Amino acid sequence: PACLYIVATPIGNMQDMTPRAIDTLKQVAIIACEDTRTSGKLLSYFGINTKSNSKNDDESDIKSDIKTHKVDTDKSDESADSNTESKKGHNKLWAYHEHNSAIQTPKIIEMIQQGYSVALISDAGTPLVSDPGYQLVQAAHAAGVTVSPIAGVSAAVAALSVAGLPSDRFSFIGFLNAKTHGRQKQLTALKTRTETLIFYEAPHRIIASLEDMAAVFGANRGVTFCRELTKTFETVHKSTLAELIEFVSADDNQQRGEMVVVIAGDNALQDEDDLSIHDELLQRLLLDLS
Ligand code: SAM
């Protein structure tokens, strides 16, 4: 039966695309994506045809289905879509983003129920991780549609894996509020969390955010700055917040590109110290007793 695939794509390095992702994107009738131009480039790089998927489906059927169901409210995609449509049947790429998800969700579910498998991709990494898709996956469950992950990269987990901070427990926070007041409020609520915290941040806000983090968490809190992961100018820098602010401020290049900020939990190191003190005390007591 038809199914909804949630497909991860690279976060920069094309070699992170999995063979399974390529196969799935080739096979599905529809690929729902955030931005049809961005995804169009990715798909053409991997030789994935975005025109009709006539191999497995009855082409005339799907053409009429898509004519009836397709709604593309993304203005910027209109010219691209109409070009390809007029040239060669239907376009396999459907825009699915923040602004049209309410309209597109039921249409995509209906297509799956009619027997057409759909893949959801985002501009980069794993869909639903600070990216659209939640509404669609929720609706799929509600409709009894099978949802299957085609697993791959996510910047959050890639950053955690190289951060050198405790990774047994962590929370993904994603993007903070764009304004200082809101940001500081969010950070204050996270101040005493003991697990490692993972943040996404935009380059033009990185210094302001790090300053707020230092103000709320303390300048000595441990942090690992992960920038441009998997790409040419990949940077992984582990320090304190105070040192990181200096490092990023001193070099404009560090304020460019895509970045993940991984912050040590509250008292992460002190907890470890406490444990070793307890161990030591216990050993002395045991020695005294014997
Ligand atoms: N869905 C994506 C994922 O699974 O990682 C995240 C999408 S979110 C809109 C984009 C943010 O992810 C960027 O602003 C940055 O914080 C982070 N990001 C994406 N690619 C990255 C990379 N190559 N290096 C560091 N951070 C990255």
pLDDT tens, position by position, 271-289: 555 667 677 778 877 887 7
> Ligand 1 site: residues with CB under 6 angstroms?
11-12, 122, 124-126, 129-131, 154-156, 200-202, 226-231, 258-260
pLDDT tens per residue, range 16-38: 999 999 999 999 999 999 999 99
**pLDDT on residue 60:** 44
| 164, containing H or E segment | none
Distance from residue 53's CA to the centre of ligand 1 (Å)? 30
Sign of the CA dihedral running 150, 154, 156, 162: positive
Q: Give the pLDDT means over successive 10-residue stretches in the chain (290 positions).
A: 97 98 98 96 95 50 50 40 42 95 97 98 98 98 98 98 98 97 98 98 98 98 98 98 98 97 84 66 78
Whole-angstrom distance, CA of residue 8 vs CA of residue 123: 10
Ligand 1 site-directed mutation target among 206, 235, 259, 261, most atoms within 8 Å of CB: 259
**pLDDT on residue 274:** 62
Sheet containing strand 147-150, strands side by side? 93-95, 30-33, 118-120, 4-7, 147-150
CA 72 to the chain's CA centroid: 23
**pLDDT on residue 228:** 98
Full-model pTM: 0.84
